[in-house]
Amino acid sequence: MAASIIDSLKQQFKQGSILLRLIYINVAVFILLRLACVILMLFNLDGSIIFPFIEMPSAPYEFITHPWTLLTYMFVHYDVWHILFNMLWFYWFGQIFLMAFGEKQMVGLYLLGGVAGALLYLLSYNLFPYFEGKQSLMCGASASIIAIVVATAFRMPNYKINLLFLGAIPLKYIAIVTIIIDLLSVTSSNGGGHIAHLGGALLGYWFVARWEKGKDITAPINRLIDRIVTAFKPRPRIRISRPSARRSSTHTSTRPETDMEYRSRKKRESDEIDAILDKIKHSGYTSLSAEEKKRLFEAGKK
């Protein structure tokens, strides 16, 4: 029974979108950390000794000695409610994000948004007198998720989602209210978290601003990830066989696409997607035809 469940989860992870994979990774890290804490407590050890090594510190010295926390913190969550709220927020807005952008952009923006949030948090705690003498540790995917929320809202501002008791609300208003709440909460007990949210929001806005000018700021980090993944992939053994004379004489090859034809095709596809997104901005997602929805969905998977 347990083996079949694990096999099913593995299959869903392999076949699922990058959105589901990121959610699975966050949940898996949460479960593993909880189990580690329980085991340590059974031996009368403090389970919290793990977290200073994986959460983002506000003290520069701690950060210099633990630089990997710049990445690890965005996959760590305190408790069930913390990860539940973040993953639901991520799932709802992540699906809309994939309509306007691709899976590679989601990975890159998730990481860059988290890094931006962590750096603004570190800078603020060591710049503003209010935080003088205060040290803290920060964790959670909120900054990464806020970057995706803001990017989605600026790209598709009039796309509406239904909220309980409030009805259909355009994304732009949800993003604006979220940013205002974070601005008003930077001196609260969770001030560091709200500052990180603002860092993620700024990164999300910058991503869209550059995207609309034809630049993808997530491209460098995606290339780095591709190189790392490729380096750890086993190289398949390629068996080369010579075609027979009969096969070579009857085989017809198609002409490869030239650079000019490739750029022209990509330009047409980009113009089509931009036209669909403009239609969503003015009339909403429901105004799209079945063919336009299909086209947008296929573009989001690339």
pLDDT in tens, 97-135: 999 898 999 999 999 999 999 999 999 999 999 999 888
pLDDT on residue 91: 94
Who has greater pLDDT, 187 or 291? 187
DSSP character for 41? H
Rounded CA separation 139/142 (Å):
9
The pLDDT assigned to 292 comes to 78
**202 vs 79, 145, 175, 180, 226, CA distance in Å?**
27, 12, 12, 13, 26
Could you tell me if 163 and 173 are in contact, meaning their C-beta atoms sit under 8 angstroms apart? Answer: no
Q: DSSP string spanning 208-244?
A: HHHHTTT--TTHHHHHHHHHHHHHHSPPPPPPP-PPP
Backbone angles phi, psi at 213, to 5 degrees: -100, 10
pLDDT of residue 269: 78
pLDDT at position 163 is 79
> Domain ranges in the chain?
13-224, 268-302
- pTM beyond cutoff 0.85: no
Stretch 42-65: mean pLDDT, rounded?
93
What's the topology of domain 13-224?
Rhomboid-like fold (1.20.1540)
Higher pLDDT, 218 or 164: 218
Average pLDDT value for the chain: 85
Selection from 3, 146, 154, 141 nearest residue 75 by Cα? 141
Query: Residue 249: pLDDT band by 50, 70, 90 thresholds?
Result: very low
